[in-house]
Amino acid sequence: QGFTSTPRPLDGVPPFVWHGSIRSPEIAEQAAYYGDGFFANHIFWPKEHTEKMVRLYRQRYAHYGHGTPEQAIVGLGGQVFLRKNSQDAVREFRPYFDNAPVYGHGPSLEEFSRETPLTVGSPQEVIERTLSFREYVGDYQRQLFLVDHAGLPLKTVLEQLDLLGEEVIPVLRKEFANLRPAGVPATAPLHPAVRTQEA
């Protein structure tokens, strides 16, 4: 209220907005109220927390009349470290994990990976773990992978992007499409002008 965005929305149609939250149910409520997307950080918290936040958002989305709970637009975070095989991934990532300001000197890499979405392993392990997120949040539209973390050098980060782009993302796109029930959107809503151009 009392805010003017610049530049103005195209054709006076407000853009689709993602409301991101680490732990605030108020953000889930706000996203649901406006019928916008809810992006759950899903990085440092156990799956039960993410499940609770997404469930609240979906229930309130339906409450406000924007569609069914399953039609609510959800995005998740998640952090990964990949190598061609899991042993190399764990061996290489462990020193970074153990000494990172955010991770280090607390739970072990194994504990942290078990209790949070951190996935350190092969492309296949990342695919399987990411697909498993659906078990507690339902189908969702966006997956953000944190790859530039724990003090990794730029060369290593770029290698992570290559592995994700070549071996993980194409499989995830196909699997998510195959698993998505009818009536559940595959993407966030497009602006009407963009929908017209794509038609």
Q: Which residues of 98-136 are buried (b: 16+ CB within 10 A; e: fewer)?
A: eebeebeeeeebeebbeebbbbbbbbebbbebbeebeee
Q: In whole angstroms, what is the distance from residue 106 CA to residue 102 CA? A: 9
Q: What residue ranges define each of the domains in the chain, with the CATH number in brackets?
A: 17-181 (3.20.20.30)
Instruction: Identify the weakest region by mean pLDDT among 9-23, 83-97, 156-170.
Output: 9-23
Judged against a pLDDT cut of 90, whether residue 102 lies above it is answered with no
Q: Is the Cα torsion angle 144, 52, 130, 172 positive or negative in sign?
A: negative
Q: How far is CA 40 from CA 27, 108, 166, 193, in A?
A: 10, 24, 25, 28
109 pLDDT higher than 90: yes
Retrieve residue 149's tokens. Answer: 């973390």
Of 11, 9, 17, the residue nearest 193 (C-alpha): 11
What is the residue type of 143? Q
Confidence of residue 192 (pLDDT cuts 50, 70, 90): low
pTM score of the predicted model:
0.88
HSE-CB of 166 using CA atoms within 13 angstroms: 10
In this predicted structure, the answer to whether residue 101 has a pLDDT above a threshold of 70 is yes
Extract the tokens encoding 59.
């229930």
Mean pLDDT of 130-157: 96
The residue-averaged pLDDT of 155-175 equals 97
Please state, in angstroms and rounded to a whole number, the distance separating the CA atoms of residues 115 and 96: 18
